[in-house]
């Protein structure tokens, strides 16, 4: 019990989301790059054993990814993890058609990481970034032509 109380769950948050290409101008799969901040609050290193992510716009899931790559979180440090997520082109096109007339479109970037904590085992830490955006404002700001 003392070990579990001494363990401090890492803080995880999505700090930025960037599109690699303009989804209005390409038929190729579009990649979203998530920058995820993970702060290890412990005085010892932790290993991330698994990560899962999903991207939604409106009610449509555009991508779902699982990674089983090992990542070491150094003690008492912040680590920025860069995660490329390829969006499903068919789902993205359908979502864009649905939302183009909407004034407020909900989006979500959700996921979790699993860390291996000494003497405790695997600990799952969820994270999420949600909000809304105005697609017409986005198009105007980016000066995106569309037919």
Terminal-residue alpha carbon distance, the chain: 62
Residue 82: phi and psi, rounded to 5, are -100, 120
Gyration radius from the chain CA atoms: 18
Q: Dump pLDDT digits (tens) for 3-33.
A: 555 789 899 998 988 877 776 677 778 888 8
Euclidean distance between CA atoms 23 and 92, whole angstroms: 8
Mean pLDDT of 60-84: 90
| 30, 19 Cβ separation under 8 angstroms | yes
74-78, 96-100, 106-110, 111-115: which has the minimum mean pLDDT? Answer: 96-100
Neighbours of 65 (CB within 10 A): 15
As a CATH number, domain 2-140 is: 2.60.40.1820
Task: Check residue 1 and give its pLDDT.
Answer: 47
| Maximum alpha-carbon separation in the chain | 62
Q: Which of 113, 129, 136 is nearest to 55 (CA)?
A: 129
Residue 92: phi and psi, rounded to 5, are -65, -45
Q: Dump pLDDT digits (tens) for 46-55.
A: 999 999 989 8
In the chain, where are the structural domains located? 2-140
Task: Check residue 139 and give its pLDDT.
Answer: 65
Euclidean distance between CA atoms 44 and 59, whole angstroms: 40
Is the full-model pTM beyond 0.85? no
Total residues found in the chain within this entry = 147
Q: Which of 95, 85, 41 is nearest to 64 (CA)?
A: 85
């Amino acid at each position: 019990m003392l070990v579990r109380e001494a363990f401090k769950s890492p803080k995880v948050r999505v700090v930025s989301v960037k599109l690699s290409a303009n989804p209005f101008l390409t038929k190729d799969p579009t990649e979203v790059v998530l920058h995820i901040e993970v702060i290890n609050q412990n005085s010892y290193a932790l290993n991330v054993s698994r990560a899962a992510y999903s991207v939604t716009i409106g009610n449509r899931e555009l991508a779902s990814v699982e990674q089983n790559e090992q990542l070491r979180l150094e003690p008492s440090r912040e680590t920025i993890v860069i995660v490329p997520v390829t969006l499903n082109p068919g789902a993205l096109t359908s979502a864009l058609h649905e939302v183009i007339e909407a004034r407020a479109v909900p989006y979500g970037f959700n996921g979790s990481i699993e860390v291996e904590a000494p003497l405790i085992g695997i600990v799952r830490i969820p994270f999420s970034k949600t909000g809304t955006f105005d697609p017409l404002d986005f198009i105007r700001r980016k000066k995106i032509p569309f037919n």
